[in-house]
Amino acid sequence: MGQAKQYLRPSSIDEAVRALAAANGGGRALAGGTDIIVDVREGRRQVDLLVDLKAIPELTAIDVDGAGGARIGAATPCYRIAEDTRLRRAYPGLVDAASLIGGVQIQSRASLGGNICTSSPAADSAPILIALGATCVIAGPTGERRLPVEQFFTGPRQNVLQDGEIVVAIELPPPVPRSGSAYLRFIPRNEMDIAVVGAGVWIRLDGETIAEARVGLGAVAPTPLLVVEAGRALAGKPATRETFEAAAEAARAAAKPISDMRGSDRQRIHLAGVITRRAIETAVQRARESQS
C-alpha cells in the first residue's frame, strides 16, 4: 500500500501553483480524492506531494454572471452542482452527469476538475461539458490560459496540463432561449459503474427546426470527442426522428472504440448511435419546455 510523502493545504491559487511547480513532477493536486487516493494507496501512482485544493475559496465557488454564464470552481463537489437550481435550469445535461458520477458518497467529494484531470475516456462530465461549449480555466507558473474542454484531453488518462498547472474553473456560456441539454450513458449494471458509452447533447431550437447543436461522446475513443458531424446532421433540420437518426449515424461513424470486459467494439458502436439519439430526444424536449 502506497502513500504520499507530503500534504499541503494552500489557501490561494498562487501558493498551490508554486508548490506543484517546485515539486519537479512529484506533486499532484488533490480535490475530492476519489481517484488519486485510490491510485496512491494501490501503488499505481508515486506522489511526493499532494496539494489539497479545497481550501482555496475560488476553487469551490459556483458563480453565475449577469448574462447567466456560469463559472464552477474545479474542486466543487458534484452534489453541489446537482443541487444548484440555477445550474439545473440552465444546464440540465451537466446536472444529469453530476448526479450519476458514482453514488451519493462519491458525489459528496468528486469534482468536475478531478473528473476531467483524471482524463479517463469514460469520464462522465466530459461529453456534456464538450456539448455545452465549456472552457477550462488553467493556472500555472506562467499565468492563466483558457481552453475548450474538447482540446484538454490528449490520450487515455493524459491531458494538456504541464508541471505546476491546475484547472481552477470550468466556464459555461450563458444559456440561450429555447435551448436544452442532456447527458446519457449506458452501463452494464444499474448503478456505480463506468460508462460503456456516454453522450452529451446541446440543442437550440428555432420553432421546430434545430438551429444549432453540439454532440460530445465518451468511452468510444482514446479521448472524449466533439462529434462535429453529428452537430452538422442536426443543424438547420427539422426536429424529427429522421434527423435524429442521421446524427446517430454520424455518432456511430465517429466511434473508434476498444473491446474490453465492459463491452465489445461492435456493441459500443451500436450503443453510440442509440445513446446519442436518446440524448438528442431529451435535449430537444427540454429545449421545447425551456422558459429562457
Ligand X SMILES: Cc1cc2nc3c(=O)[nH]c(=O)nc-3n(C[C@H](O)[C@H](O)[C@H](O)COP(=O)(O)OP(=O)(O)OC[C@H]3O[C@@H](n4cnc5c(N)ncnc54)[C@H](O)[C@@H]3O)c2cc1C
Catalog residues that contact ligand X under the rule CB under 6 A.
28-36, 38, 53, 74-75, 100-102, 106, 109-111, 113-115, 117-118, 123-124, 161, 166-167, 192
Dist CA 240 CA 257 (whole Å): 28
Dist CA 59 CA 224 (whole Å): 24
- When the beta carbons of 118 and 285 are compared against ligand X, the nearer one is 118
Report the DSSP pairing between strands 27-30 and 49-52. Answer: parallel
Contact 279, 218 (CB under 8 A): no
Cell of 277: 439519439
Cβ 3 to ligand X shortest distance, Å: 15
- When the beta carbons of 53 and 132 are compared against ligand X, the nearer one is 53
Cβ 64 to ligand X shortest distance, Å: 20
Cβ 235 to ligand X shortest distance, Å: 28
Cβ 275 to ligand X shortest distance, Å: 15
- When the beta carbons of 74 and 203 are compared against ligand X, the nearer one is 74
- When the beta carbons of 211 and 258 are compared against ligand X, the nearer one is 258
Residue whose C-alpha cell reads 462530465 in the numeric block? 125
Amino acid at 263: G
Cβ 177 to ligand X shortest distance, Å: 31
Dist CA 31 CA 37 (whole Å): 10
State the residue number with the nearest CB to ligand X.
114
- When the beta carbons of 36 and 205 are compared against ligand X, the nearer one is 36
Q: Where are the beta strands (DSSP E) in 31-91?
A: 49-52, 62-64, 70-73
Of the candidates 67, 52, 101, which has an alpha carbon nearest to the alpha carbon of residue 81? 101
